[in-house]
Amino acid sequence: MALIIPLRGYTPKIGRDTFLAENATLIGDVTIGDECSVWFNTVLRGDVNTITIGNRVNIQDGSVLHTLYEKSVIEIGDDVSVGHNVTLHGCKIHDFALIGMGAVVMDDAVVGEGALVAAGSVVLSRTIIGPNELWGGAPAKFIKMVEPEKARDLNQKIARNYLMYSRWYTENEPDKD
């Protein structure tokens, strides 16, 4: 069972049909929508400020989400994929965005709807990535526009796949009566 730690009067809220890997950690002011998945060794540290996650979001293995005390929050829209070993720190990720493996997105950065952040990229504080833009590098720079339908289709497919993967872990669980 995931480690769920109430802190400072906040207890993490978890939506229906959401999978939490047994060694995921959720702390404090964290709200997760429906049909999400939080994978192995992932930490959502809502100890100093708010983390809000939409529906059908997958946060893959080893990722860390954190904020700045009284300064930044994390907001993640619907149908977002956060790749393995990603660091999100006090940023906003809009619907249908994809954050590639090992990327870092810093405080007050915004990743637009349908945008893609390439694996290993570092999105600096206060960077604004527009809708359907592909950014990459360290520091991340604009690479090209992505067709909106392709971005949406890709991220909905990944979201559906991760929902399917999560079912593999829960469909054979014994009753918890």
DSSP letter for each residue of 43-61: EEEEEEEEEEE-SS-EE-T
Tokens of 78: 């619907």
Residues, the chain, total?
177
What is the Cα 34 distance to its own chain's centre? 13
- Helix, strand, coil in percent for the chain, rounding step 5: 15, 35, 50
State which fold the 3-169 domain adopts.
UDP N-Acetylglucosamine Acyltransferase; domain 1 (2.160.10)
Chain segment 5-16, per-residue pLDDT in tens: 999 999 999 999
pLDDT score recorded for residue 40: 98
Could you state, in chain order, the average pLDDT of each consecutive group of 10 residues for the chain (177 residues)?
A: 96 97 98 97 98 97 96 96 98 97 98 97 98 97 95 88 92 59
Smallest CA-to-CA distance from 33 within 10, 21, 17 is with: 17
CA distance 4 to 20: 10
CA distance 60 to 85: 7
pLDDT score recorded for residue 95: 96
Residue spans per domain, the chain? 3-169
Chain segment 13-42, per-residue pLDDT in tens: 999 999 999 999 999 999 999 999 999 999
**Predicted model pTM:** 0.94
Q: What angle do CA 139, 71, 50 make, to 5 degrees?
A: 100
